[in-house]
Amino acid sequence: MNINMFLSKKIQQALVTLGASADCKAQVRHSAKTQFGDYQVNGIMAIAMQLRLPPRELAKKVVDLLELGGIASKIEIAGHGFINIYLDPSWLEKHLTEAIDSPRLGVANVPPQTIVVDYSAPNIAKEMHVGHVRSTIVGDASVRTLIFLGHNVIKANHIGDWGTQFGMLIAYLEKLQQDGEAEMQISCLERFYRAAKQHYDKDPVFTERARDYVVKLQRGDKYCRKMWHKLVNVTMEQNQKIYDRLNVTLKHNDIMGESLYNPMLPGIVSDLKEKGIAAESEGAIVVFLEEFKNKQGEPMGVIIQKKDGAYLYTTIDIACAKYRYETLKAERMIYYIDSRQHQHLMQVWTIVRKAGYVPESVPLEHHMLGMMLSKDGKPFKTRSGGVIKLTALLDEALERARYLIATKNPYMEAAELERLAQVVSVGAIKYAELSKNRTTDYVFNWDNMLSFEGNTALYIQYAYTRIASIFKQRGQNKQQFTSDIRLKTIQETQLAVRLLQFEEAVITVARDGTPHILCTYMYDLAVLFSTFYEHCPILNAKHASLCQSRLQLALLTGRTLKQGLNLLGIETVERM
């Protein structure tokens, strides 16, 4: 059950009864300090001003009206009309038991929606670099969370597989094949791209052939299509290895690249012209948008077809949104893309709405991503200024994790060490991304990432192993409990409250695409567990029934940590 949502609704209802507007905000938050209860209501003051009532008086009226059905044991009015709510221990006990019995940890069903999530989106004949990492990792956590809640999620890997550069790439691939070295060279995509470009810039015969191939490719020429396919496949096979290594759920059939929308583009342009949204201007087809101004303060012109007939990234994204609504039946669309593409998306969506391709009832959301920076605040690059490749980054993380684990466990078997190093290194890289607010630029730092202390994956993975070891010591039948949960100490109650807030965290991530909220939740939970573990003996508890009660708290904590990490795409191990 979503406690926050329940309390918010009840308080809002009371406020509306007392004359507040229907959209008033109760502002229910987790209390900052235990002396303020478990939840505090912060919205009374602002509403009291509107209703011209003393805040404490309004607070009192709200409290008198509240019917919370046993969830609270105490409701207090504090300061200038704050309301502090204390959850009732027997209510907590009952809901903890329900959570233990539920495969979804008590998280309620939501009305399922078809949601398209656009993420990762690398470009063909270029290696994925750290710039694509955020979209891939944050997007995948969001996808996993939406699926957990029961939504029908369509993963769309909008790869950059179309454009004029393909003539040059095909011509170069052909040249390599003639020289008999295609397989070798193409495996380093970055080098391949650069060499192709060099030929294109220097060799006029090559340039001519490249231009000819673009035209042929667009006309559907068999040979050019085959060569193009090869470039797409080689690139995506390499990327798939990275997805697998990163434990990212993307598969080959999630690819819905730019080329998919080709057949739609002429129709889109003529339709936009017909609807009077686009018009010819200096030979190109342009949409003038009142909503955006250019430097001269005039409506901004967005080109959708160039003078030479070529379509643009914008045209493709217009078609793509239309397709996702009409063909995929999306009820919500989420795009995990760099914040530098915000204006592009806003223009696309303004056009899409004007043309009626996607109704207002279907949200189009840009979940923006900040940049990845190095310690000096500059974009994250290698010493020589090149982009850091993902494989190199993962290799280094693995190396560091191996060293860390081997130092801690000198006698661990090689196979276990290797497996552990893998789980730990991938967890570290992903968690470092996920635990920061996605919109802010993020400073890459190895040391914070692989620490047993603080808000890291390792801290949470380690907390999980401590719980696993309790159940291992206890042996079989670990799931059979004969006594109920009884919350006696403050450590038990605090852990219990946090356990029941899992749903709040998950719902927030699903709504806003902010996995850092889940990370903070998990970290808090792990810290509370550790405090509980120090103060409340489990296996050596005074009575068998107390032991059983605490075991259940430990069990639910373990399952919540594992499930939470799983939603983040991070694995757990039973010991480390």
- Would you say 82 and 42 are in contact if contact means Cβ atoms under 8 Å apart? yes
Q: In this complex, which beta carbon is closest to ligand ARG, that of residue 37 or of residue 513?
A: 513
Q: In this complex, which beta carbon is closest to ligand ARG, that of residue 125 or of residue 506?
A: 125
3-state helix vs strand vs coil in the chain, percent to 5: 55, 15, 30
Give me the least distance between CB of 324 and ligand ARG, in Å please: 10
List Cβ neighbours of 40 (8 Å cut-off, separation of 6 or more). Answer: 28, 29, 30, 31, 32, 78, 82, 83, 84, 85
Give me the least distance between CB of 430 and ligand ARG, in Å please: 20
Of residues 516, 156, 157, 184, the one with CA closest to residue 369: 516
Q: In this complex, which beta carbon is closest to ligand ARG, that of residue 200 or of residue 349?
A: 349
Q: In this complex, which beta carbon is closest to ligand ARG, that of residue 85 or of residue 337?
A: 337
Give me the least distance between CB of 317 and ligand ARG, in Å please: 5
Give me the least distance between CB of 345 and ligand ARG, in Å please: 7
Give me the least distance between CB of 353 and ligand ARG, in Å please: 16
CA atoms within 13 A on the CB side of 552: 25
Give me the least distance between CB of 347 and ligand ARG, in Å please: 12
Angle at 563 between CA 107 and CA 149, to 5 degrees: 40
Residue 14 to residue 19: CA distance in whole angstroms? 9
Q: Can residue 571 be called a binding residue for ligand ARG (CB under 6 A)?
A: no
DSSP 3-state assignment of 413?
coil
Q: In this complex, which beta carbon is closest to ligand ARG, that of residue 364 or of residue 405?
A: 364
Q: Is 224 left (phi over 0), alpha (psi -120 to 50) or beta?
A: alpha
DSSP letter, residue 548: H
Among residue numbers 41 through 60, which ones bind ligand ARG (CB under 6 A)? none
The count of chain residues that interact with ligand ARG, using the rule CB under 6 A, is: 9
Give me the least distance between CB of 290 and ligand ARG, in Å please: 23
Q: Which helix (H) or strand (E) holds 150?
A: none
Give me the least distance between CB of 335 and ligand ARG, in Å please: 6
Stretch of residues binding ligand ARG (CB under 6 A), selected from 117-125, 352-360, 361-369, 538-546: 117-125
Give me the least distance between CB of 405 and ligand ARG, in Å please: 35
Q: Can residue 118 be called a binding residue for ligand ARG (CB under 6 A)?
A: yes
Q: Can residue 163 be called a binding residue for ligand ARG (CB under 6 A)?
A: no
CA-based max dimension of the chain: 87
One-letter amino acid identity for 537?
A: P
Q: Which spans in 387-435 are helix H?
A: 390-408, 414-434
Stretch of residues binding ligand ARG (CB under 6 A), selected from 36-44, 57-65, 84-92, 115-123: 115-123
Give me the least distance between CB of 310 and ligand ARG, in Å please: 17
Q: Can residue 123 be called a binding residue for ligand ARG (CB under 6 A)?
A: yes
* CA–centroid distance for 268 within its chain: 31
* CA–centroid distance for 557 within its chain: 23
Q: In this complex, which beta carbon is closest to ligand ARG, that of residue 81 or of residue 160?
A: 160
**Residue least distant from ligand ARG (Cβ):** 121
Q: What is the DSSP string of 83-121?
A: EEEEE-HHHHHHHHHHHHH-TTTTPPP----EEEEE---
Sign of CA dihedral 98, 562, 549, 478: positive
Q: In this complex, which beta carbon is closest to ligand ARG, that of residue 252 or of residue 293?
A: 252
Q: In this complex, which beta carbon is closest to ligand ARG, that of residue 47 or of residue 117?
A: 117
Q: In this complex, which beta carbon is closest to ligand ARG, that of residue 263 or of residue 410?
A: 263
Residue 161 to residue 207: CA distance in whole angstroms? 20
Give me the least distance between CB of 198 and ligand ARG, in Å please: 22
Q: In this complex, which beta carbon is closest to ligand ARG, that of residue 24 or of residue 121?
A: 121
Give me the least distance between CB of 53 and ligand ARG, in Å please: 50
Draw the binding track, 272-311, toward ligand ARG (x: CB under 6 A; -: no contact): ----------------------------------------
Q: Can residue 121 be called a binding residue for ligand ARG (CB under 6 A)?
A: yes
Among residue numbers 469 through 498, which ones bind ligand ARG (CB under 6 A)? none
Residue 283 to residue 521: CA distance in whole angstroms? 56
Stretch of residues binding ligand ARG (CB under 6 A), selected from 73-81, 118-126, 223-231, 457-465: 118-126
Q: Retrieve residue 369's tokens.
A: 């991503």
Q: In this complex, which beta carbon is closest to ligand ARG, that of residue 160 or of residue 427?
A: 160
Residue 503 to residue 38: CA distance in whole angstroms? 16
Residue 150's CB: how many other CB atoms inside 10 A?
Answer: 15
Q: In this complex, which beta carbon is closest to ligand ARG, that of residue 239 or of residue 501?
A: 239
Give me the least distance between CB of 118 and ligand ARG, in Å please: 5
Among residue numbers 312 through 351, which ones bind ligand ARG (CB under 6 A)? 317, 320, 335, 337
Among residue numbers 133 through 162, which ones bind ligand ARG (CB under 6 A)? 158, 160
Among residue numbers 82 through 101, which ones bind ligand ARG (CB under 6 A)? none
Give me the least distance between CB of 163 and ligand ARG, in Å please: 10
Stretch of residues binding ligand ARG (CB under 6 A), selected from 116-124, 191-199, 219-227, 547-555: 116-124
Q: Which spans in 409-514 are helix H?
A: 414-434, 446-449, 457-474, 490-499, 502-512
List Cβ neighbours of 59 (8 Å cut-off, separation of 6 or more). Answer: 41, 44, 48, 77, 81, 82, 83
Q: In this complex, which beta carbon is closest to ligand ARG, that of residue 124 or of residue 170?
A: 124
Q: In this complex, which beta carbon is closest to ligand ARG, that of residue 121 or of residue 260?
A: 121
Rg (CA), the chain: 28
Residue 122's CB: how many other CB atoms inside 10 A?
Answer: 25
Residues that bind ligand ARG (CB under 6 A): 118, 121, 123, 158, 160, 317, 320, 335, 337
